[in-house]
Structure 1
Amino acid sequence: MKKVLFIILFTTFSISINAQTIFGKWNSKNEKGVVDSVLEVYEKNGKAYAKVVEIMNPERKDARCVDCEGEYKDKPILGLDILSGLEKDDDEWSGGTILDPRNGKTYKCYIELVNPNKLKLRGYIGISLFGKTAYWERAK
């Protein structure tokens, strides 16, 4: 009986720990509040990155980052790394950048987990006072 109780408690604890991470798939909404893409936040060498893994609008599946500059110029948005180089700093990940493929601009950013299924993302120029906040919801 003790073994069964231990297994149940361990499994519950493991699930709750795994749910409380920035890593995984997240829904990104457009300016109208409609989910337009799914992004996967992943870890590489202790830093957080995110790439576009699904585009919801079939007409945009082959969209390219035409307004982007440098290495991202005319690259397909599907598979594009849009978030790069964030490092963990207490409850948030910061020190990296985010690329907005809609306008081709790159911003400094930070992200933090608001709750297990909601991620706050703040992109800004200079200081975070001059920026925009978006919320991503965990994809099911």
Structure 2
Amino acid sequence: MIRMTQRARSVALNTIRHAALAGVLLTGAMTAMAQTDTPVGVWQTIDDHTGQPKALVQITQDGDGTLSGKVIKGLNPADSPDRRCTECTDSRKNQLILGMTIINDLKKDGDKWDGGHILDPENGKVYKCNMHLEDGGQKLVVRGYIGVSLLGRSQTWIRQQ
């Protein structure tokens, strides 16, 4: 049996605590890093007309690896939480915008996600969509277009912590 002095036991326990804390911090840092190389997370959208924050959209990865995005919060105090997509022409017609899936079917393609669609609840139109990350994963450039990507517009969304 190894005998340890009180001081040696204290040093050993502190070493174990520090190692455990370092492991927890490293795991947290790796998780944060992994989250910044994918659009999965919560994003603040910006209103094209006012330049003000508009909504929070949560992007998730589905079981088949595709991304989808849902409006989880409106940020404009003038917008009612009971606001509906009156301009939508598909199954989302007159549905609440809050909780609505507006992005679907995006697949990873190199350093971007492509092949999906995005709904603009303001006009009810569905556009083809692609997106890519910038600024170390803190910004998401979302492009909606008709036909080819050159004929469209982009928005930059900001990652929320």
TM above 0.5:
yes
* Alpha-carbon distance between aligned partners in 2 of 1:18 and 1:138, rounded to the nearest angstrom: 10
Aligned to 1:136: 157
Shift of 1:23: 0.5
Deviations 1:19-46 (A, max 9, x none): 3321010001112111111000001121
Asked if 1:41 is matched to 2:59, the reply is yes
AA aligned to 2:81 is K
Shift of 1:90: 1.0
Shift of 1:17: 2.0
Stretches of structure 2 lacking an aligned partner (at least 5 in a row)? 1-14
Calculate the aligned-residue CA RMSD, in Å: 1.9
The 8 Å contact of residues 84 and 95 in structure 2, kept in 1 or not, is answered as yes
* Alpha-carbon distance between aligned partners in 2 of 1:25 and 1:9, rounded to the nearest angstrom: 23
Determine which of 13, 38, 41 is the counterpart of 1:21.
38
Stretches of structure 1 lacking an aligned partner (at least 5 in a row)? none
Q: How does 1:42-121 map to 2 (within 5 A)?
A: 42-45=60-63, 46-58=65-77, 59-114=79-134, 115-121=136-142
* Alpha-carbon distance between aligned partners in 2 of 1:23 and 1:66, rounded to the nearest angstrom: 28
Deviations 1:40-97 (A, max 9, x none): 0001121000000001234421100000002010000000000000111111111010
Q: Tell which deviates more after alignment, 11-20 or 94-103.
A: 11-20
Structure of greater Rg: 2
Aligned to 2:143: 122
Identity of aligned residues (%): 35
| TM-score normalised to structure 1 length | 0.91
* Alpha-carbon distance between aligned partners in 2 of 1:72 and 1:44, rounded to the nearest angstrom: 20
* Alpha-carbon distance between aligned partners in 2 of 1:35 and 1:11, rounded to the nearest angstrom: 29
Q: Tell which deviates more after alignment, 116-125 or 18-27.
A: 18-27
Shift of 1:130: 0.4
For the residue of structure 2 that corresponds to 1:72, the secondary structure is coil
